[in-house]
Amino acid sequence: MSLHQLHIIHPSVHRATPRHAMESWRTLLAAAVLLGPLLLVLRRSGNNNPRGRRLPPGPPAVPLFGNLLWLRHSSVDVEPLLKRLFNKYGPVVTLRVGTRLNVFVADRRLAHAALVGAGTALADRPRPVANSLLGVSANIITSTSYGPMWRLLRRNLVSETLHPSRVLQFAPARAWVRRVLMEKLREAGAAPCDVVEAFQYTMFCLLVLMCFGERLDEPAVRAIADAERAWLLHISAKLGVFFFLPSITRHLFRGRLQAARALRRRQMELLVPLIDARREYKRQGTAAERRPETTLQHSYVDTLLDIALPEEGHRRLSDDEIVTLCSEFLNGGTDTTSTGLQWIMAELVKNPTVQEKLYSDIRYTCGDGEVSEDDIHNMPYLKAVVLEGLRKHPPGHFLLPHNAAEDTDVGGYLIPKGATVNFMVAEMGRDGNQWTEPMEFLPERFLEGGDGVGVDMTGTREIRMMPFGAGRRICPGLAIATLHLEYFVANMVREFKWEEVPGLKVEFAEKQEFTTVMKKPLRPRLVPRNVLSAEQRHA
């Protein structure tokens, strides 16, 4: 569920600061001046417009030089910049970055034609340059090329970990994380609560437990979280430069690669022992000692250890490949869910009438009891609140980039083979032609008589909102992510009344990080409601 800037241009890059962008721009510009003869080659390689066919419109660019200017824009600038280009050129815009053609799509019908109608033609991903430079496995579901390896890895995740029967097995993990989250929120007392940190930590706890099948203590969880965060920050701030002429930049920025390798070693040090422990647990089978309170019977790592690659002599995945897939699993479900929770709870703080209506629905369904996973299936207003949050505030404003495997026609425009295609998620969910008062938070639109009733979240029939993408590359975690949002939102509203703090006004300005977060993080006052927990009732 991942975006990416030059996060939107490359799938492994998430954020670049203005200072880093300027540093890279100056160095690359100097290199380009010294390597002027390469421009002739670059011009020829960048000319991928077959005669007589029309590319989407866009601003003029000189190969290399014209596109280096884009590095002067931080990720904060990219979305407003694209909006200005859409206003000028229409809903499909072409930009060149280096020698690569990039197409940006803001129209929902064209997005459906490209993601669903075009089939496999746009189901590929751009090749992640950084992985090859670092010698790190690129075999992950989000960025592996469309083909046998991708199908195998995705099918394994969907059928062995995200299947409804497996999701049910993870219910004890969610119940434990719910208790941890409530404890973290209670610690604030009457003071404004740093809910973002609590959301990020507890969602990471949940993903670690699902991934490795073992409940870890807080220092161990935080060590893994810190290592993953450091890796992603370095990738985003330092390695985007290798997308441009990697054969040259790998020498100019050797120190960045060395630092990345050190961070990768730290990942391996932390995750390989957990993988080995699960390998031993599986080897012992029924004789293995299992602690029901801390050990899950099933984990994502179990499924990775069972994979045999038929295209490669049925070999098993290496530790490097498993660590990379575990890292994808941990990061893919943490920031997106914690960001979604922050936006939804911010709207409930800002709209107390909606919050109280939701609380009434919870009390009607559950009485004084905790909200169970069975209960949320009987709460249409809860589902409407979550859907409205995802429509107005999708955690990612761009889909992960797609790559054209062949020349493709979309809306009368040529998308040439090798082009990168990006889709504007937020633009579609906020389209005033499709949604009444799109910038208002109105959960009722998803109830009977509303303009969102029956919306197709998968985008199969049509695209009106697509927080999880659409087509062959749709996020495989759509169902479980929605479950997590509904489950934790319901329990937080049941437990606390969420109030705005004087002087800490809730503002909906956006900031691009790994996801699109609140520029001013949510810090509400949490007032405990007069309800009894299950533990208290049975004391």
- DSSP assignment of 341-363 equals HHHHHHHHHH-HHHHHHHHHHHH
| Local structure of 113: helix, strand or coil | helix
Alpha-carbon span 7 to 17, nearest angstrom? 12
Alpha-carbon span 5 to 97, nearest angstrom? 12
- DSSP assignment of 361-413 equals HHHHHHTTSPPPHHHHTT-HHHHHHHHHHHHHS-S-SBPPPEE-SS-EEETTE
Domain regions of the chain by residue span: 6-103, 148-537
Alpha-carbon span 478 to 517, nearest angstrom? 20
Q: Which residues are annotated as a binding site for heme?
A: 475
What does the pLDDT profile of the chain (539 residues) look like in tens digits?
A: 333 333 333 333 344 444 554 455 455 444 444 444 444 444 444 444 554 569 999 988 765 554 454 545 545 568 888 899 999 999 999 988 767 889 999 999 999 999 999 989 999 998 776 666 666 677 889 989 999 999 999 999 999 999 999 999 999 999 999 999 999 999 988 889 999 999 999 999 999 999 999 999 999 999 999 999 998 887 776 666 656 656 666 666 677 778 888 999 999 999 999 999 999 998 887 656 667 667 888 999 999 999 999 989 999 999 999 999 999 999 999 999 999 999 999 999 999 999 999 999 999 999 888 899 999 999 999 999 999 999 999 999 999 999 999 999 998 999 999 999 999 999 999 999 999 999 999 999 999 999 999 999 999 999 999 999 999 999 999 999 999 999 999 999 999 999 999 999 999 999 988 899 999 999 999 999 975 455 554 44
Per-residue DSSP letter, 310 = G
Q: Which residues are annotated as a binding site?
A: 475
CB atoms within 10 A of CB 462: 14
In 3D space, the residue among 359, 356, 380 whose CA is nearest the CA of residue 491 turns out to be: 359
Q: In Å, how far from its chain's centre is CA 336?
A: 5
Per-residue DSSP letter, 467 = T
- DSSP assignment of 216-261 equals PPHHHHHHHHHHHHHHHHHHHHHSGGGGS-HHHHHHHTHHHHHHHH
Domain 148-537 fold: Cytochrome p450 (1.10.630)
Q: Is the dihedral of CA 113, 116, 121, 123 positive or negative?
A: positive
